[in-house]
Amino acid sequence: MKENSLEVTKYIQIARKNYKEGNIYQANEIYKKLINQKIHTYELLISYGLFNKEINNLKIAKNLFILSIKKYPSKINSYILLAEILRKENNVNDALRTLHAAKKVEKLNSEIDYNLSIAYKTIKLFKEAIFSIDSAIKQKPDNQIYKILKADILIDCFQYEKAKELLLHLKLEKDSLFYFQREILISKILINQKKYKLAEEVLLEQRKLFSNQKNLYLCLSDLYFKNKELEKGVSILKEGLKIFPKFIPLKFNLGIMYRNLGLIELSIQTHIEILLDDQFNSNSFYELSTMYDFSNHNELLETLLNIEIGNLSQKEKIYFGYSKANIYHQNKEYKKSSYFLKIANEEKLMIQASDIKRKLSTGEYYKNLKIGKNLKIAEANSNRYLFIVGMPRCGSTLLESILSLNSEVKDLGEVTFLEESLQKTNDLLEVRNLYAEKVKLINSGKKIFTDKNLFNFLYCPVIYNLFPNARIIHCIRNPLDNILSIYRTNFLNQSFSSSLNDIAELYLYQMKLMHEYKSKFGSMIYSYDHDQVVQNPEETIKDLINWLDWEWSDKYVSPQKSKRSVFTASSAQVRKKINSHSSGYWKNYEDLLKPISNLFPSYS
């Protein structure tokens, strides 16, 4: 068939009709036939590209949009669609390059600026994101979606009141999707402010109006996850899945909630269901690799091990890299595990540079901060706080499980209450009140609270002066085991964890800092040695309980019996009996650890 535009349009319409009716194969065959005849009209390239984008054949869609740009360089839509795919693949820098190329073709185009803003927001370049969205709004001041995006960026910048003011000034019909998006963002503000009940009211009101919106159930499940109401989260996800049984993000959240509730078998089953529908789902492969050996699903294991890392997007390289490393670790193929760990961590550092300098400068700032003696206030009748500090993967989750067996204890988990309070004001007395208010929002009725934000070791002088009734428990572990375990874990918000050198440097820094604080603050700080606990649990745990002035009970040596929800990377391991299986594991990775092992001569 010759490239007759009317004929081509007719076949495109037939293909679209087939796709709309669910005949994906027939639609694809029509498109393929046209493409195989070297028919490359702009309409065909865009239509076939969109078709492949919608059925998640992103590689084909990307190639079609690239071809469209080459053949029709003045058509802006091709650039925007290509950038969307690149962003979805986590290739945000390539997405930005594509959009800047479009901007050279058409300098003033609000849609280019809008998409630039989304890309900048994705990589947390908020100043650039605001500049781009302001440019889009200037060109089209009545466009509500642009203003909604700006509010979302302001929320990311912690400018909650400014975002709320912008949202409330939008004139929207109550049954419109713009109204729904606005209310979702208002709930996001409330969640970030720890106003969980108000956020729940907003979202449940939206359920009455927009029960057909998938995102509503995701937002509710995220709220219940953050508020640690996992049973409610499971219930709302099941409700959503009845309406959208194939919507993978809902299933994925359900698998995560099952895991954190300690329902490991249900979590495994849920992630396997996801992979049966989406055989290359990197998120579920990663989750499974941390708690399952695929012994009853050899076909899924073969799929995972045969995936070529080099052909993947950055995000997929990271998740499949960690997944393969975990499987090879389980199979005791440590060289292969090391190989994929390096790939995953190097890709992570390309997306986000290490944050070690910020952590070190924070530690030095508070170490040298002059705190007036008048702040030393008696707290005999107030809540008692137990601050668990140290490095990630130091055994702190096991420790918190042990402490939570005391019926008077409420485990706060890895909250950022102290850091948030310090960022909000320079008045240290106000910091103390802000922290107490945040704890009060938990509304548990308990008097003892464990705060397991490990990086609170940076703020020990503040804790000592503001909370004299508090205690600090410093978790330590064999440094090489600890460093290896951090490097093997896919931490999302701790970018130093992808550099062995930076992990080692921070490990040494916190040990030096805590040694200084132990000499200054004396009996307020307890050294909890994870290796001693797993080797000799009863004696070492008894010593800890005595230090806390608690009555001893044999229950403290059986933390696996705790029914509490766990929200850390150790949520599967902590369900097992205390054991020393991971002690000395670093020896299997001696080659990987060579660059830093000389820093710990007494261990290596």
pLDDT for the residue 380:
45
pLDDT for the residue 557:
86
Q: What is the CATH number of domain 376-597?
A: 3.40.50.300
**51 touches 31 (CB < 8 A):** yes
**pLDDT tens, position by position, 204-263:** 999 999 999 999 999 999 999 988 899 999 999 999 999 999 999 999 999 999 999 989
**205 touches 234 (CB < 8 A):** no
Q: Helices in 227-307 by DSSP H: which ranges? A: 230-243, 248-260, 264-277, 282-289, 298-306
pLDDT for the residue 371:
79
pLDDT for the residue 228:
85
pLDDT for the residue 577:
58
pLDDT for the residue 342:
97
**Cα–Cα distance between 65 and 75 in angstroms, integer?**
11
**Cα–Cα distance between 44 and 5 in angstroms, integer?**
10
CA-based radius of gyration for the chain:
27
pLDDT for the residue 579:
59
DSSP class of residue 473? E
For residue 272 the two structure tokens come to 């396997």
**383 touches 437 (CB < 8 A):** no
pLDDT for the residue 381:
43
pLDDT for the residue 56:
83
pLDDT for the residue 397:
87
HEC per residue, 363-430: HHHHHHCCCCHHHCCCCCCCCEEEEEEECCCCCHHHHHHHHCCCCCEEEEECCCHHHHHHHHCCCHHH
pLDDT for the residue 377:
59
Which amino acid is present at 576? K
CA 573 from chain centre, in angstroms, equals 19
**Residue closest to 248 by CA, chosen among 278, 288, 225, 280:** 278
**Cα–Cα distance between 345 and 592 in angstroms, integer?**
13
N-term to C-term CA, the chain:
72
What contacts 240, CB < 8 A, 6 or more positions away? 214, 216, 217, 218, 221, 247, 250
**Separate counts of helices (H) and strands (E) for the chain:** 30, 5
pLDDT mean by block of 10 residues, the chain; 604 residues: 71 88 89 88 91 89 94 95 90 93 95 96 92 97 96 94 95 92 96 91 95 94 92 96 95 95 94 93 95 93 92 88 96 96 94 92 94 58 84 91 90 91 88 89 82 96 91 96 96 93 97 96 92 90 93 85 52 52 85 94 74
DSSP class of residue 457? G
SS3 449: strand
For residue 120 the two structure tokens come to 């900048």
**341 touches 325 (CB < 8 A):** yes
SS3 441: coil
| Residue 224: count of CB within 10 angstroms of its CB | 23
Locate the DSSP E strands across 442-552.
Answer: 448-451, 471-476, 525-529
**338 touches 591 (CB < 8 A):** yes
SS3 32: helix
Alpha-carbon distance values, 276 to 127, 245, 531 (Å): 41, 13, 40
Residue length of the chain:
604
What burial letters (b/e) apply to 406-443, b meaning 16+ CB within 10 Å? beebbbbbbbebbbbbbeeeeebeebbebbbebbeebe
**Cα–Cα distance between 463 and 436 in angstroms, integer?**
12
pLDDT for the residue 227:
87
**Residue closest to 472 by CA, chosen among 548, 394, 559:** 548
pLDDT for the residue 582:
67
**Cα–Cα distance between 319 and 321 in angstroms, integer?**
5
